[in-house]
Amino acid sequence: MKRIFLILFLLSSVMLYAEDIKVSSPKRKVSVAMSLNHGLLTYSVRCGGQLVVEDSPLGLVTDCTSFYTGLSLLSQQVSSRDDMYSLPTGKCSLYHDCCNELTLNLRNADGWDFGVQCRVYEDGFAFRYLIPSHPGTSSLVVVKEESRMRVARWNYCLGAKFIGGVNDPNYPYETFYKNYNWDALQHECGDARLNTPTLVGSGSKYLLITEAANVGTYSTSLLRAEAQEGEFSFSYAGDTKDYQEDKAQRLTVELPVQTPWRCAIVGDLATIFQSTMVENLNEPTSMTDTEWIKAGRAAWDWGGQDGGNYQEYGGRYQGDICYTDLGAEMGWEYLMIDGGWNPANVAQLIRYAKSQGLESLLWQSANLNHSKEFSNENMEKTMKQWFEWGVKGIKIDFWEDDSRETMARMERLIQLAAEYKMLVNYHGCTRPSGLRRTYPHLMSYEGVLGGEQNFWSDCRIHMTTEHHINLMMTRNVVGPADFTPGDFSLHNGTLLANLSFAQRLGLCVGMENGILHFCESPANYKYFFGKDVLKRIPVAWDESRMLEAKVQQYVTIARRHAEDWWLCGASVQARTCVVKPTFLDDDKKYTAYVYRDGNCHSQILFEKIPVTSTSVLKLDELAEGGFLVQISPNAHLDCPPKVQTYEAESASNEMSQGVNVRDFNSLFASGGKQVNDLGLGRSLTFRGIKAEKTGDYVVTFYYSTIEDRKAEVLLNGKSQGLVTFQGNSNSFNTYDSDGLGWYKMVVPLQAGENNVLTIQSEKEGWAPNFDRITVQPL
């Protein structure tokens, strides 16, 4: 890596007039003007000539002295940074830290020295405070931060309400983003505090406000909406263990100290999405050996079991073996061993996983009320034991708060993990602040309301397309998000059909994360239509672009890994997404492997299309729909099996008297209808089922029922057994009290078009309602 520091005094991008100072980004797109008048320091910001931050104050107030009033300028220095570096994870493989930096050396009325440092990039700005050592004082208490960000022409705020401490139903960052007006910010958000990052509109531009480089000397900061419309301040998560009582926002710091950067990425939505400014604001790594740090995909044994349901495997250990075998079959790199593992056999499981080509990641709670294994006193002993077991990475969960003590413990842990060459995934924690530049083995943070909520939380009904779009424009911009996508069904067969399966597939690309944990069970992946592409999806990206976006409405993203481009889209309303792949090499031919919405949420259609840089891809998205596209110079990648769909309500079927066809929401039932009243010995017969050759085929039944119901399945007059269709009443009650589920079974078909499948209800019982069946070769 190469770093250049040049002291600049008389450049055209830096103008000094008495105590008024202006510093611009290297290409002058963004500029910050600072002014010191009557002992008060203020700043303003322009982007492309447009005022985005009006004159706003800077400063801190402590229990010893004030660094807000009575300031005088001792000296100023301007330097440039131009540093190229690479990381094993992230939205790109090559990062460019290029900015101009201004440092003001100040003194207050009490004779204390104080510094303000500002960096200006082409895509944003940042500032932080420097308090040097002071004679006779080793620490002080910051009682108030006077920093303000007065957003010019404020017109929009996409924010996540601060919801309190770890004892709340969700950790503070595991919540939803909402579009707030100023009155709502003042009255709906308690004391008007928001999590960061927060997306704010300023005329035709946006500011994504957050902080960077929280290295354990300071608590995390929240964003507060002040009384004046458009004015935001920074408040501390606190130096205590109780958020709700920490109204004074007091923070004890050791001297000397530098605060985390307060920063805003500025520009259009694509600029914000593609920015790496948060990583750039962190210090370069001192690690010399990073070859052991590998991004990858993990079979995850918790989410796919709906939170620890292992009965069908005969117990936890047997379940972990099945997940290991799934990971091996899919060619994934890791096995995630989540909560509930047994110390007596975990080493044996890790050895088995390694024999199958998978490294193991191990979970533990950081909350000292749950476990003492990761206390400051015990964490090295624990890490040594885990290293001896063969653990490759750690997932440490339930951090108590965002206090300075917790931030320090998190940093100590990641430093220790580097010594043992273990990857780190923080859960139940704060959001990222770019630390993976300093610690490249920091693969992921949770700090997000992710896909696991679909399995066991009542909030699953709110896990909407809008939520996903919001995260791509806010939380996932500032660092990895362990969102755990790849979920399609609950363990009992209930389909997660509030969103299209094609969108859910696309989320595996849309949500950037160092380790992609697939949130599904082996049973649901066994015959899954998109199984082939799940084997290929990469994790680390060479390049990321936002092709189009509209806040809370739609987004289309392109990411490059080596020579392949991966596109994903999500849309709240039905639309046709038009992609012109001008990012492709002009002299190459490519093949697009397209996974897009069918005629309902649970149907994925596949196309294989030749494309070049001059092609036009038109991708129809359902409401709450989306797509995944892989564009590759390789025209011979594996493709999904050919699937035949047979609607239950088709006129070519035979139904017993008393069986009826009824309307069903067309987003959830193919064709908008289902067959009901199948009971008391009645039957539904599908005729003309095709098979290209004699052999085994997978039949998937799409059905709905509140309680478990049984029916006999007959193929060509021969019984295939009595099937129990599990109830799915815990599905999404927004469209039907029954929901929609699937059941898969393998049956032998004869070559030709004359196979007959019958669903026969019991004489004194009821079968489910049926939407359709699909047939695919095994």
Span 521-536, pLDDT tens digits = 999 999 999 999 999 9
* pLDDT at residue 6, as a whole number: 39
Task: Determine the average pLDDT of the residues in 567-591.
Answer: 97
* pLDDT at residue 20, as a whole number: 80
- Report how far residue 208's alpha carbon sits from residue 198's, in angstroms, rounded to the nearest whole number: 6
Q: For the CA atoms of 663, 598, 332, 346, what is the dihedral angle to 10 degrees?
A: -10
Q: Please indicate whether residue 304 or residue 445 has the higher confidence score (pLDDT).
A: 445
* pLDDT at residue 34, as a whole number: 97
Q: What percentage of the chain exceeds 70 in pLDDT?
A: 93
* pLDDT at residue 476, as a whole number: 98
Task: Determine the average pLDDT of the residues in 88-108.
Answer: 97
User: What is the number of alpha carbons within 13 Å of residue 66 lying toward its C-beta?
Assistant: 12
Task: Determine the average pLDDT of the residues in 111-138.
Answer: 97
* pLDDT at residue 235, as a whole number: 86
- Helices 465-473 & 501-510 angle (0-180, nearest 10): 10
Q: How confident is the model at residue 187 (pLDDT cuts 50, 70, 90)?
A: confident
What are the angstrom distances between the C-alpha of 178 and each of 60, 194, 211, 259? 30, 11, 20, 29
Each residue of 365-379: b (16+ CB within 10 Å) or e?
Answer: bbbeeebebbeeeeb
- Burial grade of 333 (CB within 10 A; 0-12, 13-18, 19 or more): buried
Q: How confident is the model at residue 33 (pLDDT cuts 50, 70, 90)?
A: very high
Task: Determine the average pLDDT of the residues in 29-37.
Answer: 97
The stretches of 107-216 forming alpha helices (DSSP H) are 182-188
Helices vs. strands in the chain: H and E counts, helices first: 12, 49
Strand partners, 137: 134
Span 392-425, pLDDT tens digits = 999 999 987 888 888 999 999 999 999 999 999 9
Span 684-700, pLDDT tens digits = 999 999 999 999 999 99
C-alpha torsion sign, points 537, 543, 547, 550: positive
Q: How confident is the model at residue 499 (pLDDT cuts 50, 70, 90)?
A: very high
The neighbour count for residue 86, using CB atoms within 10 Å, is: 12
Q: How confident is the model at residue 571 (pLDDT cuts 50, 70, 90)?
A: very high
Q: Are strands 50-57 and 148-151 parallel, antiparallel or unpaired?
A: antiparallel
Q: How confident is the model at residue 171 (pLDDT cuts 50, 70, 90)?
A: low
The neighbour count for residue 480, using CB atoms within 10 Å, is: 28
pLDDT greater than 90 at residue 540: yes
pLDDT greater than 50 at residue 599: yes
Q: Which amino acid is at 75?
A: S
Q: Pick the closest to residue 33 from 9, 12, 14 (CA basis).
A: 14
Question: Do 183 and 162 contact (CB within 8 A), yes or no?
Answer: no
Task: Determine the average pLDDT of the residues in 738-764.
Answer: 94
Q: Which residue has the tokens 């899919």?
A: 330
Angle value at C-alpha 474, between 470 and 476, nearest 5 degrees: 100
pLDDT greater than 80 at residue 600: yes
Collect all residues with Cβ–Cβ distance below 8 Å to 134 and sequence separation of at least 6: 112, 113, 255
At residue 286, φ and ψ (nearest 5 deg) are -100, 0
* pLDDT at residue 245, as a whole number: 46
C-alpha torsion sign, points 485, 491, 493, 497: negative
Q: How confident is the model at residue 729 (pLDDT cuts 50, 70, 90)?
A: low
Q: How confident is the model at residue 459 (pLDDT cuts 50, 70, 90)?
A: low
* pLDDT at residue 255, as a whole number: 96
Q: How confident is the model at residue 3 (pLDDT cuts 50, 70, 90)?
A: very low
At residue 408, φ and ψ (nearest 5 deg) are -65, -40
Q: Pick the closest to residue 756 from 689, 707, 657, 692 (CA basis).
A: 689
Least confident interval from 381-395, 447-461, 537-551: 447-461
pLDDT greater than 90 at residue 443: yes
* pLDDT at residue 523, as a whole number: 92
DSSP letter string, 395-464 = EEE----SSHHHHHHHHHHHHHHHHTT-EEEE-SSPPP-SGGGT-TTEEEE--S--TTHHHH-GGGGG--
Q: What percentage of the chain exceeds 90 in pLDDT?
A: 81
At residue 372, φ and ψ (nearest 5 deg) are -100, 5
Q: How confident is the model at residue 237 (pLDDT cuts 50, 70, 90)?
A: low
Task: Determine the average pLDDT of the residues in 732-754.
Answer: 79
pTM: 0.94
- Report how far residue 753's alpha carbon sits from residue 757's, in angstroms, rounded to the nearest whole number: 12
Span 325-379, pLDDT tens digits = 999 999 999 999 999 999 999 999 999 999 999 999 999 999 888 899 999 999 9
* pLDDT at residue 241, as a whole number: 41
The neighbour count for residue 553, using CB atoms within 10 Å, is: 14
pLDDT greater than 50 at residue 242: no
Give the tokens for residue 370: 């749950």
Q: How confident is the model at residue 771 (pLDDT cuts 50, 70, 90)?
A: very high
Question: Do 450 and 481 contact (CB within 8 A), yes or no?
Answer: yes
DSSP letter string, 737-777 = SS--EEEEEEEEE-SEEEEEEEEEE-TTSB--EEEEEEEEE
Bond before 57 cis per omega within 30 degrees: no
The stretches of 138-181 forming alpha helices (DSSP H) are none
- Report how far residue 645's alpha carbon sits from residue 562's, in angstroms, rounded to the nearest whole number: 36
* pLDDT at residue 188, as a whole number: 81
Task: Determine the average pLDDT of the residues in 25-38.
Answer: 97
* pLDDT at residue 47, as a whole number: 97
Give the tokens for residue 108: 């207050």
Average pLDDT over all residues of the chain: 91
- Burial grade of 586 (CB within 10 A; 0-12, 13-18, 19 or more): exposed
Q: How confident is the model at residue 728 (pLDDT cuts 50, 70, 90)?
A: confident
pLDDT greater than 60 at residue 57: yes
